[in-house]
Amino acid sequence: MCGIIGYIGRRNASQIVLEGLKHLEYRGYDSVGFAGVLNSKLVIKKDVGKVDEVHARLNFLEYNLKLAIGHTRWATHGRVTRTNAHPHTDCNKRIAIVHNGIIDNYEELKKELISKGHKFRSGTDSEVVAHLIEENLVDGKSFEEACFNAFKRLEGAYAILAIKNDEYEIVAIKKGSPLVIGVADHGSFVASDIPAFLNYTKKVVYLYDYDMVFLKPEPVFYNIGNGVMLKVERPIQSVEWDAEKARKGDFEHFMLKEIMEQVDTVQRAVAQDKRILEKIVGEIRRAKGVFLVGCGSSYHACLTASYVFSKVAKEHVNVILASEFPNYEHFLTEKTLIIAVSQSGETYDVLEAIRAGKKRGSKIISIVNVMGSSLVRESDASLLMHAGPEICVLSTKTYTSQIALLNLLAYTLSDKYEEGKRRLKYLWNVIYYLTSANTRNKIRKLAEKLLDKQHIFCIGRGLQYPTAMEAALKIKEASYIHAEAFAGGELKHGTIALIEEGTPCIVFVSEENAKEILSNAIEVKSRGGYVIGISPVNSEVFDFWIKVPECGTENPIVQIIPIQILAYQLAVLRGYDPDKPRNLAKSVTVK
């Protein structure tokens, strides 16, 4: 998983690519590099480190270029070294490429190319692309033809940008990895994600798999899915995202900014066209088997929704991790409905899950934040979260938006659309209270108490169980403290053996389950545990209490917010960057 950006046009490409890399750093931050063309020679600068660190050493702005491509890397093949950083070049350093994804057949291609005399410098799968293009630059073939012949041989998932030292052109290809074109009056952009160029244009072209684009500088579109270059038309669309939303502004980190934005984003999620909701509800009613699929936080949102669908709509839905879903394809039929939940709409496991369903003729509904994403294009219908760009690697505002949308669907399914909408609209004042300076300061005191802990446990029952799971995930992702979640009733089936003097345990309480979960909290307390209550009312069992007003089926939206803040503050106090946690990337576009 990496971020790629390219620009060709009348503006300073070095400046634009550097800015784009900063906006894409959430997609990868092991190493960074860029390549451009100057006087028929390639200019390449790359090294290990974050964008600002490498720029300070190498000065990406040394030359005013009119064509450049850049890359920020999250390592998959090959260690984190300068040599393995992108861009990669051919033997003669005439061709440079950047690549996001994995080339599945790179070993076979590499052996073939070595046998033909090619010399490889890196340990990446990506480098084969540059050499394969070079190998096809024979018999008078053009750069475009050489790229086409090279790309035809690639297997796996990839988004690739290629340039040549004596060509004023960027060649781009996409298959299974995100890539979007930006169009401005001064030139064209190509990037993994819209925020990379949102400062310059809101006009975008979403690409389909096997789309091959020649930017020179206006984009010309082909599709090579059938093994030939078929010229195609791709519409220019306008995105609603505000460029300001992709900036930190006065906030130190995007994570805190996006936590605070939930006052608005939950309300924007609710602002759906009722006709679309009713159309989706009709599909749910007609389906013989409904599956909710997602990964990570989106999976927790799906699990939460399964409780709400049961409580509110008396409807059974199956919840499956997207990566495991293909194992269930034998149950799928033309009457099956799959509801796929994803922030980016580009998550590899989610796309593989829906494709397993499509093979069986199943209907696909998606809940997603990115218009024009692969998931949207492959779905029969979609609901957009309208959360705006989420730059922090960790999901906060999109998680609560997902739950809000799924709750609204459940209420619509039970013919209670107005009630569901009213309940969600009520949350703005609760979220405003939970994100206030007073609440944040109180949670900071808790973070100071937990700063040096090695383990934190989270427990809940019913709707609070998936909330506990999401809480544990947030703490792990941001602070690197080991955290685990359990259904309250499961403590006595083994986990309670891990509780010792001072072990923190976060307990999620609602009016519905207070008696049972507080009994579990007492079990923890009697063994020396430090009990933290997330609850509408205080209890003598709590060593630390964070008040969260009772919101019924909307509890999962409001109860997670204090833990998002806690995870953020733990990360900062421990000296970590919460926006870019180690070993993680925003869009997981590989297996």
Integer Cα distance of 126 and 97 in angstroms: 8
Going across the sheet that includes 219-223, the strands are 88-89, 95-103, 156-164, 170-175, 211-215, 219-223, 230-231
Q: Phi and psi of 194, rounded to 5°?
A: -60, -40
- How far is Cα 410 from Cα 416, in angstroms, rounded to an integer? 8
Closest by CA position to 305, among listed 399, 170, 194: 399
Which among 196, 215, 206, 272 is positioned nearest to 237, based on CA atoms?
206
Instruction: Determine how β-strand 504-508 pairs with β-strand 530-535.
Output: parallel
- CA distance linking residue 334 with residue 357, whole number of Å: 9
Of the residues 2, 458, 505, 551, only one is catalytic, namely 2
Measure the CA–CA gap between 173 and 180, rounded to whole angstroms. Answer: 10
Cα-based distances in Å from 587 to 27, 126, 194: 7, 19, 13
Task: Identify the active-site residue in 203, 445, 586, 591.
Answer: 586
Establish how many alpha carbons lie within 13 A of residue 45's alpha carbon, considering only the half-sphere containing its beta carbon. Answer: 19
Quick check: is 515 catalytic? no
> How many angstroms separate the CA atoms of 235 and 352, rounded?
26
CA–CA separation, 484 and 535 (whole Å): 19
Annotation marks residue 551 as catalytic:
no
The DSSP secondary-structure symbol of 488 reads G
CA–CA distance, 306 with 301 (Å, rounded to integer): 9
Distance (Å, whole) CA 331 – CA 334: 10
Residue 163 main-chain phi, psi, to 5 deg: -135, 160
The SS3 assignment for 149 reads helix
Strand order in the sheet with 41-48: 41-48, 31-38, 67-73, 3-9, 187-191, 180-184, 203-206, 237-238
Partners of 175 in the beta sheet?
A: 158
Cα–Cα distances (Å) from 465 to 303, 331, 454, 509, in that order, read 9, 27, 22, 10
Find, among 384, 300, 395, the residue nearest to 26 by Cα: 395
Alpha-carbon gap, residue 16 to 1, rounded angstroms = 21
Question: DSSP letters along 265-302, please?
Answer: HHHHHH---HHHHHHHHHHHHH-SSEEEEE-HHHHHHH
Q: Is the dihedral of CA 122, 2, 43, 68 positive or negative?
A: positive
Scanning the structure block, which residue is given the tokens 């490498």?
A: 54
Handedness of CA 197, 198, 200, 206 (dihedral sign): positive
Taking the C-alpha atoms of residue 329 and residue 293, their distance in angstroms, rounded to an integer, is: 13
Catalytic residue list = 2, 586
